[in-house]
Amino acid sequence: MQLTYKFRLRDTCDSELTRQARAVNFVWNYCNETQQKAVNRKRKWLTWHDLQKLTAGSSKELDIHAHTIQQVCQVYDRSRTAKKKAWLRWRVSNPKSPKCSLGWVPFNKGHVALRNGAFVFRGKAYRAWVSRELKEGQTFGAGSFSQDSRGHWYINLPVEVPSLASAGSDPIGIDLGLKDLATISTGEKIAHPRWYRKMASRIAAAQRAKKKNQVRQLHAKVKAQRNDHLHKVSTRLVQSHGAIFVGNVNASGLAKTSMAKSVLDAGWSAFRNQLEYKAIRHRVVFREVNEAYSTQTCSQCASIEGPKGVAGLGIRQWWCSCGVEHDRDTNAAKNIARRGLASLEVGASA
Ligand SMILES: [Zn+2]
């Protein structure tokens, strides 16, 4: 299977990449402009083949790889289809503009190689913090250089890795929540890291004070710490279970402030993403399950008597009339596991 490895480049403000990113923006905006004109004049929409024909030969003048231009055309076409829009947002190169796009330079298969511990692209070596085992001389699939909101550059490399079988077979359900990050149907609870709430309130304070740089720094910090925490948990879960079902919760309506909402949302979706790709690698079943009523339904007798939504958030324990005492979140996780298993059965018979 293929995974995308991401490495941070040591050279934080690489001028050559910044220059290439500007040229990429130029190509993107050219595609956008051409497409916009075609729509306004009621002409045929442009496919990536059309866009490639129109941009062919500009690589020398722009001083970027011809395949980089082709990749931009393809990505442009793909995202226009995915977003179901006639044209897309412009890519802005001016770093002083608040709308400035994060740098992005795609490259094609076989054009980046690992030499002397650095990634070589178009004759230039990019040194990186390589934390995983890659072989000297190895070449990579079509990937990209990309920038984060702090301006740091990364290289994203698709790498073929062997798939591993999971040792476990027990299916589990996972309830993502406000109080704990996740509750497993086995009764285990995975807490939000201690800094989580503190950081959310610091971000909110910085945002109120309009300290944009600080907001950016804090977000990046939350992201790094959170991913480290989540990686450990998600790896352990896929290694010890045969099927994983996760509720499709999102933070709107649950979190009180928009900041808490964005921090929670990001954590939940990062966790779900990790579980999903690790599950594929370990040949574990993974599904997102509709979690409506999972809190209110008794996982023992299926009657709907449990605590309701935001109003019932304070109720952590409850008795069902069938005589079973439930932990609120464990019960929800059990319902998610049951629904997930039921969806597999439906899928198998269809
Ligand atoms: Zn019951």
Please give the full DSSP string across 161-218, using - where no structure is assigned.
------S---EEEEEE-SSEEEEETTS-EEEPPTHHHHHHHHHHHHHHTT-HHHHHHH
pLDDT number for residue 59? 92
Q: Is 314 domain-assigned?
A: no
Is the predicted pLDDT of residue 173 greater than 90, yes or no? yes
Burial class (CB in 10 A: 0-12, 13-18, 19+), 88: middle
**DSSP 8-state secondary structure symbol assigned to residue 251:** S
Residue numbers of the domain that contains 192: 171-289
Residue 192 shares a structural domain with residue 268: yes
What is the whole-number distance in angstroms between the Cα of residue 180 and the centre of ligand 1?
24
Q: Is 341 domain-assigned?
A: no
Burial class (CB in 10 A: 0-12, 13-18, 19+), 162: exposed
What is the whole-number distance in angstroms between the Cα of residue 237 and the centre of ligand 1?
28
Tens of pLDDT along 124-146?
999 988 766 788 888 888 999 99
What is the whole-number distance in angstroms between the Cα of residue 202 and the centre of ligand 1?
42
What is the whole-number distance in angstroms between the Cα of residue 222 and the centre of ligand 1?
40
Residue 180 shares a structural domain with residue 118: no
* pLDDT classification of 349: cutoffs 50, 70, 90: very low
Q: Is 135 domain-assigned?
A: yes
Is the predicted pLDDT of residue 350 greater than 60, yes or no? no
What is the whole-number distance in angstroms between the Cα of residue 336 and the centre of ligand 1?
16
Q: Is 311 domain-assigned?
A: no
What is the whole-number distance in angstroms between the Cα of residue 314 and the centre of ligand 1?
20
What is the whole-number distance in angstroms between the Cα of residue 332 and the centre of ligand 1?
13
Take residue 171 and report the two structure tokens written for it.
Answer: 């299916």
What is the whole-number distance in angstroms between the Cα of residue 299 and the centre of ligand 1?
7
Q: Is 330 domain-assigned?
A: no
What is the whole-number distance in angstroms between the Cα of residue 246 and the centre of ligand 1?
22
Residue 113 shares a structural domain with residue 249: no
Residue 27 shares a structural domain with residue 154: yes
What is the whole-number distance in angstroms between the Cα of residue 192 and the centre of ligand 1?
29
Q: Is 336 domain-assigned?
A: no
* pLDDT classification of 297: cutoffs 50, 70, 90: very high
- Mean pLDDT, all residues of the chain: 87
Residue 269 shares a structural domain with residue 131: no
What is the whole-number distance in angstroms between the Cα of residue 321 and the centre of ligand 1?
6
Residue 122 shares a structural domain with residue 188: no
- Amino acid 219 reads H
Is the predicted pLDDT of residue 348 greater than 80, yes or no? no
Q: Is 325 domain-assigned?
A: no
What is the whole-number distance in angstroms between the Cα of residue 347 and the centre of ligand 1?
27
Alpha helices in the chain (DSSP H): 15-40, 48-55, 59-62, 66-83, 195-208, 212-240, 258-281, 328-349
Is the predicted pLDDT of residue 251 greater than 90, yes or no? no
* pLDDT classification of 263: cutoffs 50, 70, 90: confident
Classify 18 as helix, strand or coil. helix
Residue 251 shares a structural domain with residue 273: yes
Domain end, chosen from 160, 187, 222, is at 160
Residue 55 shares a structural domain with residue 88: yes
* More confidently predicted of 28 and 195: 28
pLDDT number for residue 346? 60
Calculate the alpha carbon distances from 285 to 134, 174, 183, 205, 279 in Å.
28, 13, 18, 41, 6
Domain end, chosen from 289, 315, 338, is at 289
Q: Is 324 domain-assigned?
A: no
Residue 94 shares a structural domain with residue 186: no
What is the whole-number distance in angstroms between the Cα of residue 306 and the centre of ligand 1?
9
Take residue 298 and report the two structure tokens written for it.
Answer: 């008794």
Q: How many domains is the chain partitioned into structurally?
A: 2
Take residue 205 and report the two structure tokens written for it.
Answer: 């304070």
Residue 224 shares a structural domain with residue 144: no
What is the whole-number distance in angstroms between the Cα of residue 242 and the centre of ligand 1?
27
Residue 16 shares a structural domain with residue 151: yes
